[in-house]
Amino acid sequence: MSSLQDVGVIYSDVYLNYNFGRGHPLNPYRYKLFFDLIKHYGLLDKLKHIEPRMASEGELRLLHTQEYIDRVKKLSERGYGMLDFGDTPAFKGMFEASSYIVGGTLNAVDLVMNGECAHAFNPGGGHHHAASDRGAGFCIFNDVAIAVRYLLEKWKVKKVMVIDIDVHHGDGTQWSLYSEPKALKVDFHESGMYLYPGTGFMDEMGEGDGYGFMVNVPLPPRTHDDAYLYAFKEIVPILAEEFKPDIIVQQCGVDTHFEDPLAHLALTTRAYAEIAEIMHEVAHKVTNGKYVMVGGGGYNVETVARAWTIMVSRVLGIELPDELPKEWIEEFKSLMGYEPPKTLYDKSKPFISEGTWRSIMADVEQVVKEVKKRFPRFFKR
């Protein structure tokens, strides 16, 4: 169990400026509604809350080219245009907004590395599609890959483990760190055969010195809690114990949820509780507790707020009442214009017939077997 002030949360309403406009699936209110939910649950007394800072250009250059940074600045001033083929439109002030996102993740890293907190969470982070010279998939700057370079270069850590549970493969993080043996990247996602960005297959294992340090776990559509958690427990603890990282960075996208409109996995809120507990235990066993969490995808605002609240509460070692605070429900209605669920945990489940459940379980067991076969250095038994 974590002690008081063991967990840092980085948030300010400046995150609301990361806004692609009406109708875009990435709704910035998800950050505020998460933060206000932990506040209404009384968790702020038990956390260290700090506001994000802007990342410097030097920090952005840990990953991104100067040419790309200049392009973002120019489009940011202009306020229109595209960063990719249509998912990531430019908006006024986007350079500042995305620099705060990166700065928030670096704040989380510093809190943990300074020993101020054992664990820290930046809900604004997790922008894993951006590459060194381009934005993609709603991501302008890749705070996950920048955090890894920052840890290796500024903090001189020897090894970092990156775990990504977003439903979309973290292609930007993968290619940015593809030849880096000091970073073990582990990515659980819906298979690229069915979903953007169409990458993350098992044979993408790194290159050069980094070969064998990129572990992709592509999952079939309708992967449910039992299959997902089986894969997670079979793979993550062993990799962490064998690799022995100094710190773990986890991208916590919750678009794996069965009600998410942009993908096809079938997790419920129970899975996020278990993932957080597994990760918390692994971090204390392997990295002396050093564990940085960042946000990620999730396009049902009510699911995002609830799932991240569950994850933070589990890392704190606190069991929250299932009934959501009334003030939060009212706030949600006034911001979003519709009724949220009344409970923290899902009351409904995805419908999966027994035959489908079994065939998915068998498919995922096969994926796990194949992953283990490809990485004999880690899976010796």
The residues that are catalytic are: 129
Which residue carries 């400026």 as its tokens?
17
- Which tokens go with 107? 């704040």
